[in-house]
Each structure stands twice: as structure tokens, then as C-alpha cells.
Amino acid sequence: EREYHANRNAAPLIDVSPLYKYLVTGHDAARLLDHVVTRNVGKAKVGQVLYTPWCDAEGKQIDDGTISVLEEDRFRMTAADPTLRWLHLNSSGHDVAIEDVSERTAALSLQGPNSRAILQVAAQRDLSTLKFFRLTNAQIRGIPVTISRTGYTGDLGYEIWVDSAQAVPLWDALIETGAPYGITPAGMLALDVARIEAGLLLIEVDYFSSRHALIEAQKPSQLELGLDCTVATDKPRYNGKDALDAEGRRGPSWQFTGLTVDWDSLEKLYAEVGLPPRVPTQAWRMSVPIYDPGGRQVGYATSGGWSPLLKRYMALAHLESPSAAPGTQLRMEITVEHRRKQATAHVTPLPFFNPERKRA
């Protein structure tokens, strides 16, 4: 709980080094990435960071991550799953070098409302002009770093990229500098609640990679995941373009959205067995059926929990498109005293939490 509240009231420091990281360089580096991902990499400027998914030829999502434009022909790509082989498979005929730098590049995520103040002291420079999804080079106590205004909490935040040999001294420097600002080392349990509040997807929890899915029904498209804004309409070719174009014309069959459980409905279910209402103390990750008022299953939730900040029981869910309109009343399965019940829930647009300071 202390780590979670640091996300929203102070500054959590999170080790995100386990991300896979690839350096893509050469004359055709942008061309290769433009072929692999759905964002328009060719239009990105030096110093810009793109959040982007990538998909297979059928338009089904493989993974998502970021692409940082370090120089005109030098890019850093991050991924949740190993992606080196996929990049090589798509690089035929390109003048490009692809290097796995996962082990030698560390990354620390400093998030929360006090993150900027801490970094400005640590780096001894003004970061107020560093825009959302932009990066800059700096030094922290003589350690060369790259600072990007990115993160996975849906709040004001930064990620600091550094040579792995300097990661521990950098961590210590940030902890020391941030002590007066409430800096708090934080882990995945706290991060899970924050990313659900922000409506952010987690691979193998909220969706299966098309490379890991066992059946076709487990493979989602970017449009079904609500990532329409990441599908470029201004570039001629990329993996999955034809399939995504066709799906865009007919509309996706499923939609990824938020659900808010009605408190009075939840309270009534517990009162029926003589208990006060209980909410999960940690975010849960499992498939939970969602029904329409007539009892027909229209989708499933994949993760959820109680938001201490918003004071609501929230969930992320995949719903059939006709049932996904904001405000639609549905029912979510809840287990009360070992018995399956159904609580009223309402479709809620994502994100649940979107503070102005994130982009300001």
C-alpha cells in the first residue's frame, strides 16, 4: 500500500531493466521498423519516443513496446517478449544492424508527482520543457543517462536509461536525492494497481501474443484492444496492414474497455451472507465472466481490483462490441463466501485515472 500511494502522492522508483531492449541502426533502420510496427516511424523526430504495438500478417497483435529515436539512423526498441528473431526475419534486404542490448542497458522508472523535482535536482537541469514521450541526454553525478518522459503508471513520470554497470550507483544517487521528496522503491504489486487505473495493457494477462495463443480465438487485433490510435493511416505498407484495414472498415467484433462495479450491488451480495463488503487488497489477474442483464455472457474481465485513490472497484474487460458502449449496465461474476454471484457493473471508458500533470 505504501508503494502504491507513492505512485500517486510522491515518487516510486521501479527497476524496469527486465524489458528486452534492441538497438537498430543503419541507413534502413527506420524503414525496417516502419515495416514491423504499426506507428509511422519515418515521421518521428530525433528525441521522440513512440509507443507502438506490432502484429503478424493477419493483423493479430504480437507485442507492444516503445521505439526511441536516438539519432537519424539509430533507434532503441523495447519489448516485453524476446523480439530479436522477429526483427531479423523482417530485415531481409535492409541495410541495418540489430543488436540485443538487454543485458548492458538498464532502465529505472521514476514516477509520480514528485518525479520531476527529484530528477531536476539529480541532473542539475530544468526538465519542465521535456514534453510527453520525448527524451534528452543528461548526467547524474557524472553518470551519462538518457531521460525519457515515459512510464507505465499513467502519471507524471520518467524512465532513466543507463549502462548496466552504472545502474546501482544511479539507483543510490536517486534514492539519496529523492529522500526529502518521499521517493519509495516499488514493485509489481503496486505497479499493477496503478497501470489498471491508467487502463494499460499487460501482455499474457490482458491479451495473449499471437505467437503464444493456442487457438485463433485467443489472438486479438490492435483494434479489438482499443489501440486504434497506434495504427498509422499515412504509410503504405506494414505487417498486418491489409487485415487491419479490412477490420477497420467492418468494425471490430470485440472491444477492450473498463468496468466499474456498482458498490451498492456489491454490498448487497455480502449483506445477504451477513458480511461487510470485501474488496481485493491486490490487483487480480484472471478471467472473470461478464454477463448482460438477461444472463448471456458477453465478455470477460482480465484484471481488476480496488482503487484506493478513486475509491472504486474497477476491472479491464473484453466485451462484444454491441455491449461495450459507455454506461452499458452489465453483471460481473463475484465470489462471495465460496459461492459465485453477480454484481452490477457499468462500462467505463479508459483510462479510469488520467491526471493533467501527466502531460502538462
List pLDDT tens digits, range 314-344.
999 999 999 999 999 999 999 999 999 999 9
The pLDDT, as a whole number, for residue 18 is 96
Using a pLDDT cut of 70, give the percent of the chain over it.
100
List pLDDT tens digits, range 196-223.
999 999 999 999 999 999 999 999 999 9
Computed on alpha carbons and rounded to an integer, the radius of gyration of the chain in Å comes to 21
The pLDDT, as a whole number, for residue 182 is 98
C-alpha cell belonging to residue 266: 456489491
The pLDDT, as a whole number, for residue 112 is 98
Using a pLDDT cut of 90, give the percent of the chain over it.
98
* Cα torsion through 56, 60, 65, 69, rounded to 10: 50
- Please calculate the CA angle 146-150-156 and round it to the nearest 5 degrees: 115
**DSSP states of 293-310 as a string?**
TTS-EEEEEEEEEEETTT
Single-letter amino acid code for the residue at 2: R
Which of 25-29, 233-237, 297-301 shows the lowest mean pLDDT across its residues? 233-237
The pLDDT, as a whole number, for residue 223 is 97
The pLDDT, as a whole number, for residue 355 is 97
pLDDT score of 246 more than 90? yes
List pLDDT tens digits, range 175-194.
999 999 999 999 999 999 99
Q: Give the model's confidence band at 233: pLDDT under 50 very low, under 70 low, under 90 confident, else very high.
A: confident
| Across 131-154, average pLDDT | 98
Asked if residue 351 has a cis previous peptide bond (ω within 30° of 0), the answer is yes
Residue 287, H or E segment: strand 284-291
pLDDT score of 281 more than 90? no
Cα–Cα distances (Å) from 180 to 4, 61, 292, in that order, read 18, 43, 50
List pLDDT tens digits, range 15-74.
999 999 999 999 999 999 999 999 999 999 999 999 999 999 999 999 999 999 999 999
**pTM of the predicted model as reported, rounded to 2 decimal places:** 0.96
The pLDDT, as a whole number, for residue 161 is 98
| Across 70-82, average pLDDT | 97
Q: Give the model's confidence band at 115: pLDDT under 50 very low, under 70 low, under 90 confident, else very high.
A: very high
- Who wins on pLDDT, 280 or 120? 120
